[in-house]
Amino acid sequence: MDLFIDFVFSSVSTFILAYFLYMIFGRRRKISLVILVLMLLFDIISVVSAFTQGFEIDIIILLFLSGAGSTIFAFFLFMTFTGGFKFARVRRRKLKSLSTDIQTKRLTEISSLIVIILSVIMALLSYFILEESNYLILAVSIVSLGLGIYIFITVKKIKLEKVILFIGRNKERIYEYDIPKNALKVEIKDFYQNEMYIVDAIGEATLFLEDKKYEKHYLYWIGTGDRIDMKDEVVTEIRSLPYRDHLEHFEKYHYKKVSFQENRNGTADFIKEKIVK
């Protein structure tokens, strides 16, 4: 029973860390997979060390199951939830369709708090309740706790979230939609309901302000030459945008995260960009 509890706690804590990293780095698996591989190597080294020291075979098997076994299980959980297996065609398609949705500040705050709470619980259980303290679970819990706190503090600096919708082949017309503070997720249908046109998600703009806070803009584009009637939509047309002179950074069929620094004259300077896909 103790082995089962150890296995479950180790698997769950490892999965939480891997999935949290996956969400932080723009739904990229690479960082999470590197962490999982390093943890697996650490587990294997522990098993090999026990073998060379002459431990009995049943103890070595138990050590493998509680260490490497739980990491492997966490890997399968992670790949299943992120659609990483080639046979999981339905899952991948579902994730791809969700890429146009916005995970808001509110949702990130809640997710960070859940990670913080779970990390504390896992750390306390691994240290006080399990007969032999599992220091790997404790280490993973501490890392997850640190990441949860960091993300929570970072997201608290978001002053405003809004959708920016460009219309026209050259993004001539610009509309905005202020995301409600308590919204957990925003879909295209929340700010644009005309199904005659394809709305492409093209990126995110982070606009740093002088008070060390920042605005988060989620950018969408209807690249058509048609004159679209917007009077029945909830978006509001705007004439100016601080980074309007830098819109060439955002392209169709690519999703980029671009950072800008706002100037006092209402313009913005380009800082950096990151291609997500």
The CA-based dihedral angle spanning residues 147, 150, 152, 157, taken in that order and rounded to the nearest 10 degrees: -150
Averaged pLDDT for residues 16-37: 75
pLDDT at site 235: 93
- Express each pLDDT in 39-74 by its tens digit: 788 778 877 887 788 777 877 777 777 678 888 888
Domain covering 159-275: architecture: Alpha-Beta Complex (3.90)
Q: Which amino acid is at 60?
A: I
Q: Spell out the domain ranges in the chain.
A: 2-155, 159-275
**Is residue 266's pLDDT more than 80?**
yes
- Computed over every residue of the chain, the mean pLDDT equals 81
**Is residue 28's pLDDT more than 80?**
no
Question: In 3D, which of 37, 30, 46 has the Cα closest to residue 14?
Answer: 37
Those residues with Cβ within 8 angstroms of residue 164's Cβ, 6 or more apart along the chain or in another chain? 174, 175, 176, 205, 217, 218, 219, 220, 241
Burial of 248 (0-12, 13-18, 19+ CB in 10 A): exposed
Using CA atoms, how far residue 69 sits from 35, 54, 112, 139, in Å, is 15, 21, 27, 17
Q: How far apart are CA 270 and CA 263, in angstroms?
A: 11
pLDDT at site 87: 46
Cβ-contact 207, 171 below 8 angstroms:
no
- Express each pLDDT in 79-95 by its tens digit: 877 766 554 443 433 33
Cβ-contact 244, 238 below 8 angstroms:
no
pLDDT at site 90: 39
- Express each pLDDT in 99-155 by its tens digit: 477 888 998 888 888 878 877 887 777 666 655 556 666 777 787 788 888 888 999
Cα-based angle 152, 144, 182 (whole degrees, multiple of 5): 30
Sequence-ordered strand ranges (E) for the chain: 102-103, 158-167, 173-178, 185-186, 200-208, 214-222, 236-238, 256-262, 268-275
Question: In 3D, which of 185, 108, 176, 206 has the Cα closest to residue 148?
Answer: 108
